[in-house]
Amino acid sequence: MILISWNVNGIRAVEKKGFIDLAKEIGADILSLQETKAHKEQLSDELINIDGYTSYWSSGERKGYSGVANYSKIEIEKAETGFGADERFDCEGRILASYFGDIVLLNIYFPNGQRDDERLQYKLDFYDATLVFCEGLRKQGKSLIICGDYNTAHNEIDLARPKANQKTSGFLPIERAWMDKFESFGYVDTFRTLHPDTTDAYSWWSYRAGARPRNVGWRLDYYYVSPELLPKLKRAEILSDVMGSDHCPVLIDIDI
């Protein structure tokens, strides 16, 4: 099964750049999008109903902000939005949980903590709520795939200029420590597991100063899986040649 995750930085913007044709060409079994920046009623029928796919949407209360979506070729038994535990998190349209068999795919757009200390704390609280939600699902016997824009580069290998960004949200020690904590519960970074020493592998580049052509980037987009799924993982890739957003898609091929 091919799963692809992409922060599109505005689905209406990428629609104008050929997103519908691209979605058909890449042929993912499930295509997960973050930062859609739209409510479903604002979208064209062609965009909602891409041939071969059923789409699912989670939008925040604030229009033009946040939002996630899944396009699925496989039958989803249940799709839920939010964690259902704290309206602070669910109101921003950052979470979409898709259930099929014993698998739950979580498509999450994690908050950015750069605005101020209050927003950084919100991000850290959101991280903790994610872990609680994931562990609750595992206790129900579910295997998890957690994809999305995590908005943190975990280790120095995951960004081009680690020394210059020690005090930048997205690479703060406290954010990276949560990624360590997440992995301590058994969750596996699929790309880094299959490519432990690969450098210059990034999924986000600033629009400023020609960062993308020079590959001055960050790896912010991940597929994590619960440990029992690791033997089923066949490949993990970063599709850096796909344009249209300041992020590029990431992919896993997994036997489920």
Instruction: State pTM to two decimals.
Output: 0.97
- pLDDT tens digits, residue range 216-242? 999 999 999 999 999 999 999 999 999
Q: What is the mean pLDDT of the chain?
A: 97
Give the number of C-alpha atoms closer than 13 A to the C-alpha of residue 194, restricted to the C-beta side. 20
Buried b (16+ CB within 10 A) or exposed e, 183-199: eeeebbbbbbebbeeee
Tell me: pLDDT of 75 over 90: yes
Q: Phi and psi dihedrals of 252, rounded to 5?
A: -130, 150
- pLDDT tens digits, residue range 92-150? 999 999 999 999 999 999 999 988 999 999 999 999 999 999 999 999 999 999 999 99
Dig out the tokens for 141 from the structure. Answer: 């016997």
Cβ atoms within 10 Å of 231's Cβ, excluding its own: 8
Tell me: pLDDT of 86 over 90: no
- For residue 84, the model assigns a pLDDT of 87
Task: List beta partners, residue 179.
Answer: none
- pLDDT tens digits, residue range 38-60? 999 999 999 999 999 999 999 99
Residues 6 or more apart whose Cβ sits within 8 Å of residue 22: 242, 244
Q: What is the DSSP letter of 242?
A: -
DSSP notation for 68-101:
EEEEESSPPSEEEES-SS-HHHHTTT-EEEEEET
Confidence of residue 159 (pLDDT cuts 50, 70, 90): very high
- For residue 85, the model assigns a pLDDT of 76
Q: Which of 149, 158, 189, 221 is flagged as catalytic? A: 149
- For residue 240, the model assigns a pLDDT of 98
Query: What is the arrangement of strands in the sheet containing 78-81, beginning at the earlier edge strand?
Result: 78-81, 95-100, 103-109, 143-149, 221-225, 188-189
- For residue 215, the model assigns a pLDDT of 98
Mention the CATH class of domain 2-254.
Answer: alpha beta
- For residue 248, the model assigns a pLDDT of 98
Q: Phi and psi dihedrals of 168, rounded to 5?
A: -105, 130
Tell me: pLDDT of 180 over 90: yes
Interval 245-253 mean pLDDT: 98
Q: Cα separation of 64 and 172, whole Å?
A: 28
Residue 241 appears among annotated catalytic residues: no
- pLDDT tens digits, residue range 193-206? 999 999 999 999 99
The pLDDT > 90 percentage for the chain reads 95
